[in-house]
Structure 1
């Protein structure tokens, strides 16, 4: 795939560079504002609730990791909102790359922790793992492994490799799609798409099978059983992945193939919206609080 010649296409430069105009900017501003407000509220309330309960279960510790991830993302959102309000990036290239890396790092780390919760509960359901065997140091080790492996794999790629295209401007940000002209990033993107979609499909089918089994066994009082409620919570995590992450990855296939075509340059704007949709998972804690109160 050949890189875009921005010099030869001055009339399309704003669109090509992902510089959102009109309705696209309003969608992004609305979406990020909603996530910032709702995500901050949910994160604070969930943190206070967990602090009061002082729960040290493995699931609770993984949720704590998710809260940390959400907090990091939420801190970066005002910078994005500033850019879409002012239409100019005023914080330098270093912070642009950092903020850009955070949104992708947040998505993949959150995905891994969601999957960890689902798999743990499935293992417990199929009696491959006993809750009594899970101790605090197990989840600490698991968290360290996930953060370390994820940091070693993703952060150097996202932060050190993305953003080196010569056409990047100091006054523009979030234009790192131009690096998709490089073969290694095309392979990386396709690999992540296949891994995420395959994992979600497999877990979705297994989880639905478990829930159907429990409904048949416990009907009509299934909500009175903790095991059923636990599996529904696991299904909630899968649903968040399907709603927030999968649309971005499905659209990414089309985007990689066509973003450099002049006639389809508006795909850059749509890509920004799908990227913003991944941040909606920060509202998961609001849903949890609502569920717990209910």
Structure 2
């Protein structure tokens, strides 16, 4: 779960890797900020009592907090020198992991809600009042901010001795057996959950396609399941490769090349910030396209 570079003082800087990471994080920052900004405008026009909408709003908050730290990463990879102090280095370094796992949690919450809607044959789940949606969100964030954040930041990079001019180099943590076991448990949970959701979603979509007649894209039921599939694919392509590589990385933290590759794999998890573009593009598409006639029993998809 940690952003590390083993034996950091002995690992020479790799300019090519620095250029790649600079480009990746610049791309993520520009695309992520644009996506959550456009999505925020769309949410003003949506039903804020919807449980799914509430989960999406929380995802935007998670992405937004992480993106605030990305410019500092970009600056570091450009200069190859950290000038903002050890504590802030730990904060910026930890935030990409916090973003990864909080995003994962909200993806799972969103998918569970969608499955409840599907299996209970409901159009949507709503809070009785907007205040209830706010209270539910605040409860989740209080848990994160009051319990998880302090514990995470207290233990993060506590035992290492690092070059103060370098950052994101907390490899000594992997010398502890407890950290290795925690990583393996986390990897197993992430992979098991993602593949379970993927298998379930494929079965649901195949069943719907067999049942429906005509162009399936015109049916709200099918479109809703494609949205669920999108969330699963985001987890699959952004989170699964990193955690599979993590198994090898934990066993080879003394190899500088492996550490550099881990940095790249970790940066790819941040591409999940682009998830909001799915809703933005979908909304624009359906605004420009004509809905099928209701008398033909076709209904346009909507967020």
- TM-score, with normalisation over the residues of structure 1? 0.88
Equivalences for residues 21-170 of structure 1 within 5 A: 21-53=14-46, 55-127=48-120, 131=124, 134-135=127-128, 136=130, 139-151=133-145, 154-170=148-164
Task: Confirm whether residue 249 of structure 1 aligns to residue 248 of structure 2.
Answer: no
Task: Say how many residue pairs are matched.
Answer: 280
In 1, Cα distance between equivalents of 2:6 and 2:104: 35
Report the alpha carbon displacement of residue 179 of structure 1 after superposing the two structures with TM. 0.8
Give the structure 2 partner of residue 277 of structure 1: 268
Report the alpha carbon displacement of residue 259 of structure 1 after superposing the two structures with TM. 1.4
Change (3 A) 1:167 1:133: closer
SS at match of 2:162: coil
8 Å contact from structure 2 (residues 26, 74) kept in 1: yes
Give the structure 1 partner of residue 293 of structure 2: none
In 1, Cα distance between equivalents of 2:126 and 2:84: 48
Change (3 A) 1:71 1:5: closer
Give the structure 2 partner of residue 221 of structure 1: 215
Change (3 A) 1:5 1:256: closer
Give the structure 2 partner of residue 293 of structure 1: 284
Deviations 1:127-160 (A, max 9, x none): 1877356444554454344334444564234311
In 2, Cα distance between equivalents of 1:5 and 1:198: 28
Runs of 4+ in 1 over 6 A off after TM superposition: none
What is the CA RMSD across the aligned residues, in angstroms?
Answer: 2.2
Change (3 A) 1:133 1:58: closer
Change (3 A) 1:282 1:229: same
8 Å contact from structure 1 (residues 62, 139) kept in 2: no
In 2, Cα distance between equivalents of 1:118 and 1:182: 35
- Segments of 5+ residues of structure 1 without an aligned counterpart are none
8 Å contact from structure 1 (residues 101, 155) kept in 2: no
Give the structure 1 partner of residue 193 of structure 2: 199
SS at match of 2:11: helix
Report the alpha carbon displacement of residue 67 of structure 1 after superposing the two structures with TM. 0.5
- Segments of 5+ residues of structure 2 without an aligned counterpart are 286-303
In 2, Cα distance between equivalents of 1:219 and 1:289: 28
Task: Confirm whether residue 177 of structure 1 aligns to residue 171 of structure 2.
Answer: yes
In 1, Cα distance between equivalents of 2:230 and 2:272: 11
Report the alpha carbon displacement of residue 203 of structure 1 after superposing the two structures with TM. 0.9
Report the alpha carbon displacement of residue 227 of structure 1 after superposing the two structures with TM. 1.6
